[in-house]
Amino acid sequence: MREEERTATSGHVADHRTVEEPAPDVTLLTLVIPTRNEAANVALLVRRLRKSLAGVDYRVIFVDDSTDETPSIVRDLAGEDARISVIHREGTDREGGLSTAVTAGMDAVSGQSVYTCVMDADLQHPPEKVREMLEAARRSDADVVVASRYARGGNYEGLSGPVRRAVSVSSKWLARILFKEARKTTDPMTGFFLVRNEAVSGIQFRPTGFKVLLEILVCAPELRVVEVPFSFRSRESGVSKAGLRQGVEYLAHIASLFWYVPSAGRFWKFALVGASGVLVNMVTLIFLAEYVDAHKVIAWMFAVGLSILSNFLLNNAFTWRDVRHSSRIHFLLRGALAYPVAIMGIGANFAVYYPLLKYVSDAFPFYAIFNLLGIVAGTSVNFILSSRLVFRPSLPKNLDPESPPKQIAEDIRKELKADRVALIRTPDLTPIGDPTSHDLSEHDRSLVELIVRTTHPTLAVTGPRRLPQARTNTRWTNSLAVPVATGGRTVGVVYATRLSTEPFTEEDLHWLTAYTSTAAPIFS
């Protein structure tokens, strides 16, 4: 890959290490190709792939939602070439469209190949590019290789008409503005990319519409990304599936990522909370000044104090909901620290606004523009300080794999306030560390087996289970199960249970998933 074709995205240039050869029973590359009424294209696509990937250990899975003869053509091709297979979906299985087709294909090959390449069947994605993407991945330490229409040397001439081109460019910029993870590539909306399967193992993607790459980048922000340019070509035959519905689904996907992924768009979440604080401030100020007849300065002080408190509570519950506080005292200390941080933000606002007002102009509209610049400066300072001081993670992200398993289990139990924590080795599902105290019930075993099969972290809450005491003793049986993987296979499961009036939360699941990401050595 030429130097100008590569974008290093993890703060350093890739070290070009050589990727180890896969195990004998693991395919090097699987191509996942979603199809819908592509009968005229699939045979030519297979021929071009066969020619361009000569000498490469690969297989092809078509995930088909067609109503034409596409599945029968693919089955004929599979009869000629054992490397080809098809998953034909009907009825409700088709819900979610292209995105769920891609994830269904990726799930089907989980643990069976080193890399997965996703591409369209309409030949707008040139099959000859796949080998270059694979070579780029193997030369570098990249987790994702993006075929970009917008990188130097690429183009998007295959987009039909100025309207579709404008929609494509604006969609790209919307994603890049909202999500910093999307800025790792010039084309976060492409449907042509290659991923290293081990890097995304255990992550449950739930994309809406057809922008699967954006989901991967946002849900796994630590991924290392490189890109290669390609020319987006006109369709060989058939018609494009893009339309108004796909545009609406894209916006719904953006909203879903923003709302449900804690780290996604964090600055904009902070800005939204800040806007709500302005409303709280104004309502409090007017109420105290006009209806309580409080002195304007006193009313202003109360309004500022209440708005800072509301901002802290909302930021804790929304903007930084994935950052735990270790105790109630720690939570209160964070709340207290929010006030001096907010004051420094106000100071930054004033430091920008007042000099411009004094030495440039105090006439309209200049003072309004200077006020806007001050707000931007104050918000940025407040966000940076809040990230590094107020909502700084209180615990290390990963456990120490050199610690005794019994100590690791106890540390996790204390952090999660769990009744018990078991470190379970697979495939025999044997608890390690202190096996006698962690015998698995039938329910425990079935849940752990599910985690091993799906490789997805799971939060399970059953109940409430009512006890004969007062209704305040209503309790839930809670379970957290997080798989630990290495080399593309699950080697263990960290399993926590608790019987409590306070169930485990997604925050607990996020913490446990991050904390156990270096736990593979303890199961070896």
Burial label, 190 (beta-carbon count in 10 A; 0-12, 13-18, 19+): buried
Note whether 489 and 453 are within 8 A (CB).
Answer: no
CA neighbor of 108 nearest in space, from 134, 131, 89: 89
The sheet carrying 475-486 orders its strands as: 430-432, 420-425, 489-500, 475-486, 458-465
Question: Which three-class secondary structure string do you get for 463-510?
Answer: EEECCCCCHHHCEEEEEEEEEEEECCEEEEEEEEEEEECCCCCHHHHH
pLDDT tens-place values along the chain, 524 residues long: 333 333 333 333 333 334 445 555 789 999 999 998 888 899 999 999 999 999 999 999 999 988 889 999 999 999 999 999 999 888 777 776 677 788 888 877 777 889 999 999 988 899 999 999 999 999 988 999 999 999 988 887 766 667 777 888 888 899 999 999 999 999 998 889 999 988 887 666 766 655 788 888 988 888 899 999 998 876 555 555 555 667 777 888 888 889 888 888 999 999 999 999 989 989 998 899 889 988 888 888 898 899 999 999 999 999 998 887 767 788 899 999 999 999 999 999 899 998 998 899 888 888 888 888 988 899 999 999 999 999 987 655 678 888 888 899 888 888 888 888 989 988 888 888 765 545 677 778 888 888 887 777 777 765 444 444 443 444 567 888 888 888 768 889 999 988 776 778 877 887 888 888 888 888 87
Q: Rounded to whole angstroms, how far apart are CA atoms 4 and 152?
A: 7
Give the tokens for residue 111.
Answer: 């643990």
Q: Rounded to whole angstroms, how far apart are CA atoms 423 and 188?
A: 38
Q: Rounded to whole angstroms, how far apart are CA atoms 524 and 522?
A: 6
The CATH class of 20-260 is: alpha beta
The angle subtended at Cα 213 by Cα 210 and Cα 218, nearest 5°, is 115
Q: Rounded to whole angstroms, how far apart are CA atoms 235 and 123?
A: 6
**Residue 511 CB: number of other CB atoms within 10 A?**
22
Alpha-carbon distances, residue 254 vs 249, 258, 334 (angstroms): 9, 6, 30
Tell me, what's the pLDDT at 467?
40
Tell me, what's the pLDDT at 6?
34
Tell me, what's the pLDDT at 4?
35
Alpha-carbon distances, residue 195 vs 23, 61, 119, 237, 291 (angstroms): 18, 15, 12, 28, 61
Note whether 242 and 36 are within 8 A (CB).
Answer: no
Beta bridge partners of 450: none
pTM over the 0.75 mark: no
Amino acid at 398: N
**Residue 69 CB: number of other CB atoms within 10 A?**
13
CA neighbor of 491 nearest in space, from 112, 105, 201: 201
Tell me, what's the pLDDT at 199?
83
Positive/negative CA dihedral, 80, 84, 89, 95: negative
> Terminus-to-terminus CA distance in the chain, angstroms?
37
Note whether 216 and 199 are within 8 A (CB).
Answer: no
CATH code that applies to domain 405-523: 3.30.450.40
Tell me, what's the pLDDT at 239?
53
